[in-house]
Amino acid sequence: MSLSAEGRGLWIAMAAFVIWGLMPLYWHLLKAVPSFQIVLHRAVWCAVLVAAYLTLTRGRGWLGAVLRQPRLAGMLAVSGVLIAFNWSLYVWAVNAGHVVESSLGYFINPLLNVVIGVVFLRERLLPAQWVAVALAAAGVLWLTFNYGSFPWIALSLAASFALYGLIRKLAAVDAVTGLGVENLYIFLPALVALLWIEASGDGGFASLRWGGMTDALLVLGGALTALPLIGFAYAVRRVSLSVVGVMQYLAPTLQLLCGVLVFGEPFGADRAIGFGFIWVGLAVFAVDGVLRARRRVVAQQA
C-alpha cells in the first residue's frame, strides 16, 4: 500500500530531523581532524553534490538564472556566509564538548525567528507568543547568571541560523537552488584553503595520516549536509507548516540526548531549570501554533 504525498512528506521530514539530531555522533567520528578542516570539506563536498544534483535534474541553466538577478545573487552570498559561520561554530562546539549548549541554540532558534519577524518583517506577536518569548528569555538569563557562563555558543548558533532563515525567506528562490548557489560562493574559498593546508603539510586527506575511512566520512559529510535540506524542502511542500514546526524540536532533543547520554556532558539542576523555562516557552509556542492552524482550517470549511 503506497503512502500519500503527505505521508511521504511526514516520513521524509522525520528522517531529516533525525539526521540533524544525530549529527554530533557523526562529527565525533572525525575528532582527529581539525574542526576548521572538517567545515572546509563539508562546504566543498556539499557544493559538489548539490551542484551535480541540480545539473542532473534541472540542466545547466539553474545557476545562470540566479546570477542574472544581482540582488538575489547578493542575498545568497550573505546567506552562504551565515550558514558557513553556523556550520563552523557547530562542528567546533561538538568536538570541543559543547553538544548540550549547541542543542540549546536550536531550541532557541524558533522563538528567535518570531522576534526577527517582529523586528524586520513588522509582524505582530499574539499574547501566547509574547509569553513564549519571555519564558525563553528567562531561561537564557537563568543559564547566564546561575550556570556561570554566558551561553554564547547557543545564542550565536540561534542568531546566525535565524538570520540565515530571514534571508532565505526574502530571497525569491526555491530551497535546493538557493542551497546550491550559496554553497558555490563558499566552494572556491574553501577549496583554496584546503589545498593550501594540504600543501603546507597540515592536512591529511587522501593520505595515510587519517586513513581511507576518515576520507570517506569527510566526503559523506557533504551528503549529510545536503540530503536533510533537500528532504526538508520536499516535506514542507506536502506537510502543514504547523506540523513541521512541532517536528523540528526532534533534532535539538536528539542532540541534547547525545550530549548527556553518549558524551557524558554535565546536565545538573542549574541547566535543567534554564532549559525548563525554554521548553515551557516552546510548548506554549507550539500549542498556540497548532490551535491557530486548526481554527483556520475550521474557518475555511465553514
Ordered by start, the domain boundaries in the chain are 5-301
| Residue 7: per-residue pLDDT | 73
pLDDT of 197 > 70? The answer is yes
What is the average per-residue pLDDT within 215-232?
84
Strand ranges, E, within the chain = none
CA distance 272 to 283: 16
pLDDT of 253 > 90? The answer is no
Least confidently predicted of 4-8, 28-32, 261-265, 284-288: 4-8
Residue by residue, DSSP assigns 17-67 as HHHHHHHHHHHHHTTTS-HHHHHHHHHHHHHHHHHHHHHHHH-THHHHHHH
CA distance 189 to 293: 44
pLDDT band for 187, please (50, 70, 90 cuts): very high
CA distance 147 to 141: 10
CA distance 80 to 175: 13
The reported pTM is: 0.80
Say which residue, 38 or 1, is predicted with more confidence. 38
Q: What is the pLDDT of residues 80-91, one digit of tens each?
A: 999 889 988 998
Least confidently predicted of 63-77, 177-191, 197-211, 275-289: 197-211
CA distance 280 to 137: 11
CA distance 37 to 205: 10
Q: Which of 54-68, 137-151, 245-259 has the highest mean pLDDT?
A: 54-68
Angle at 27 between CA 30 and CA 208, to 5 degrees: 15
Question: What percent helix, strand, coil does the chain show, rounded to 5?
Answer: 80, 0, 20
Rounded to the nearest integer, the mean pLDDT of the chain is 83
pLDDT over 90 percentage in the chain? 19
CA distance 35 to 281: 33
Q: Report the Cα–Cα distance between both ends of the chain, in Å, rounded.
A: 33
What is the average per-residue pLDDT within 21-42?
89
